[in-house]
Structure 1
């Protein structure tokens, strides 16, 4: 039986290789199966204003927002949803961080638009003259580049402190408009272009400060492209939505925001 020692040696070698590969695979498998404890912070673009229906709080939280949609699709171990319509950075710091702790593994946030006064900017541009709109946009851009960065830095640092083991994902705001012809009663193309340019400034500032904080920035401008107000299939509500004006509709949260979040979470 001259071949038996060789056969036994080959069998042992195969068994060793299988065991080694299995041992290497276990950490990855364990990591993939690690429970996700998710907290969604932020303003109306996180709470789901525009999607409806809303909970009984004053925050206008909707289960059609991207955050609960992501939580449901990923079978998270826990999900907390303190995001609130109208929130500014100070509201996140004062009222939302209590949902975070050392067991939190993922945090998402949209914040900064209300600090920069974009609701007032939208009103000025929708109902005011071109010069009124231009002044409002310029003031908001100056705030976004001059004052907002420090507020974002403070907010992201506080999140890191309360949730040191969490991945922080900062989602940006979309451009709200398509700039083609939109009827006689719509905002002019010039105003819509200025507002989109302001959205770009806000996105640039937010992405920069997110990177400085070691967070992931999820840019929603590409996913919303072609679906702004005045588009053939808008995912943004027009002024007729009253409190929902210039917020995503249900499709905007599902196909715009959720798609952007999925792109960075895998």
Structure 2
């Protein structure tokens, strides 16, 4: 009788252990499969300003010098889908960039929010108009970033998590544009400071929403320090009259030296 009980106990124990091991193995297998990389976002992720644009990307201007391309080349993910697009706002990311996301996606990177806040119009206003007009346009953007952008980011981040439940998601921010206190042609110090302060607010807002979704925020302000416009070693284009669309975007050096190390540290 006692032997029978022992046998039953051992049999139950082995079955339970086997089930646990099978479950662990399946979980490990799923984790191992989640190794694809999907790069989402706007022009700062597509690589506008970095040259070497991929012909098939058209107006999205995806660059082989952009940080997603550089990371994929160095790390050989099981798959690489590069859907970031110049000019993209949160709505465009939701509507047209998320298709490659799946349970096998292990890494997602994204920069988005600047276009929602009116980045291009801000810079145009500040370049062409007075200090007061520049500050007024920036203040309008600040109100949008505080009141409306968080909900827009929540929608994007929730959709990413829903479609890629196993992915590590890295949300990249934006650099400060100007090194202040320098003798530098172009915008007044008043405009430069207001633009930098607005960029800080945008980064703070994005970082908070990213953290609340369990995502990693990649702050590029530190890597761009010393390489802002007016620094003498800028990794950002100033006004480019020959190719206006590249104005105020990272150069190839900004992508490799400013963005890529931040993704490397976070991924």
Q: Tell me, yes or no, whether TM beats 0.5.
A: yes
Partner of 1:206: 206
Write out per-residue CA displacement over residues 108-167 of structure 1, whole angstroms, 9 at most, x where no aligned residue. Answer: 000000000011101111111000011011111110011000000000000111111111
Matches within 5 A, 1:85-100: 85-100=86-101
Partner of 2:257: 255
The change in CA–CA distance for 1:258 and 1:31 in structure 2 (over 3 A counts) is farther
The change in CA–CA distance for 1:32 and 1:262 in structure 2 (over 3 A counts) is farther
Q: Is the 8 A contact 2:34 2:105 kept in 1?
A: no
Write out per-residue CA displacement over residues 168-196 of structure 1, whole angstroms, 9 at most, x where no aligned residue. Answer: 1100011011113344x410111101100
Q: Is the 8 A contact 1:35 1:76 kept in 2?
A: no
Give the ranges of 4+ consecutive aligned residues of structure 1 lying more than 3 Å apart after TM superposition: 29-35
Deviation at 1:39, TM superposition (A): 0.2
Matches within 5 A, 1:31-180: 36-56=35-55, 57-180=58-181
Q: Is the 8 A contact 1:176 1:228 kept in 2?
A: yes
Partner of 1:231: 231
Write out per-residue CA displacement over residues 83-118 of structure 1, whole angstroms, 9 at most, x where no aligned residue. Answer: 000000000000001111111111000000000001
Distance in 1 of aligned mates of 2:37 and 2:53 = 20
Distance in 2 of aligned mates of 1:32 and 1:230 = 46
Distance in 2 of aligned mates of 1:90 and 1:131 = 31
Corresponding pairs, count:
237
Q: Is the 8 A contact 2:34 2:103 kept in 1?
A: no
Distance in 1 of aligned mates of 2:104 and 2:34 = 10
Deviation at 1:248, TM superposition (A): 0.1
Partner of 1:242: 244
Partner of 1:19: none
Distance in 2 of aligned mates of 1:231 and 1:30 = 49
CA RMSD across the alignment: 1.8
Q: Is the 8 A contact 2:102 2:163 kept in 1?
A: yes
Report the secondary structure of 1:49's partner residue: coil
Do residues 187 (structure 1) and 190 (structure 2) align? no
After TM superposition, the score normalised by the length of structure 2 is: 0.85
Q: What 5-or-longer segments of structure 2 have no aligned partner?
A: 1-24
The change in CA–CA distance for 1:148 and 1:156 in structure 2 (over 3 A counts) is same
The change in CA–CA distance for 1:212 and 1:32 in structure 2 (over 3 A counts) is closer
Deviation at 1:31, TM superposition (A): 11
